[in-house]
């Protein structure tokens, strides 16, 4: 019986414990805490939302923050690549377009938030929109980055 129990622990419980303790990127951790999540909520967010399609407000917030950090990192790389080649003018145009895009995202997502019929759907619409728009923008910026000379 003891041998069977120890096999069960090794075969089932240890892998589950390792999965539950998966690390959260430190930049994402800091951003989520700044957004008002408690430290105790972060592992649950990671376990329930990371790498999956978001289905609730918390996961939309989590994934939106991930995409926002990815977008910021890509913009930083574009900045470095353009400035390396003396492309200050090109960087200024991209930075200006980014400011305009952020204003668009805010207005666009506010529209979707305001047409919701309940408070729950209002928040879900808001974060769903932010996630979708931010992911699309990060993907577009990633294409720009890939086209730049290294």
Average pLDDT score over residue span 39-46: 83
Could you report the per-residue pLDDT of 108-144, keeping only the tens digit for each? Answer: 999 888 887 777 678 888 888 999 999 999 999 999 9
47 is written with which tokens? Answer: 């376990």
Q: Does CATH place domain 51-147 in 2.60.40.10? A: no
Q: Can you give the residue ranges of every domain in the chain?
A: 51-147
Q: How far apart are CA 29 and CA 136, in angstroms?
A: 22
pTM (2 d.p.): 0.75
Rounded Cα distance between 41 and 43, Å, is 6
Q: Please give the average per-residue pLDDT across 74-83, as a whole number.
A: 92
């Amino acid at each position: 019986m003891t041998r069977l129990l120890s096999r069960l622990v090794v075969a089932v419980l240890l892998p589950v414990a390792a999965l539950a303790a998966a690390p959260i990127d430190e930049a994402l951790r800091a951003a989520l805490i700044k957004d008002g999540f408690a430290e105790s909520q972060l592992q649950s967010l990671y376990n329930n939302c990371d790498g999956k399609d978001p289905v609730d407000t918390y996961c939309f917030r989590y994934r939106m923050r991930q995409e926002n950090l990815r977008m910021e990192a890509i913009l930083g790389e574009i900045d470095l690549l353009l400035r390396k080649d003396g492309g200050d003018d090109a960087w200024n145009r991209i930075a200006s377009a980014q400011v305009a895009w952020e204003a668009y995202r805010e207005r666009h997502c506010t529209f979707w938030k305001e047409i919701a019929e309940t408070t729950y759907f209002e928040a879900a619409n808001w974060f769903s929109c932010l996630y979708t728009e931010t992911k699309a923008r990060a993907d577009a910026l990633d294409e720009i980055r890939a086209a730049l000379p290294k």
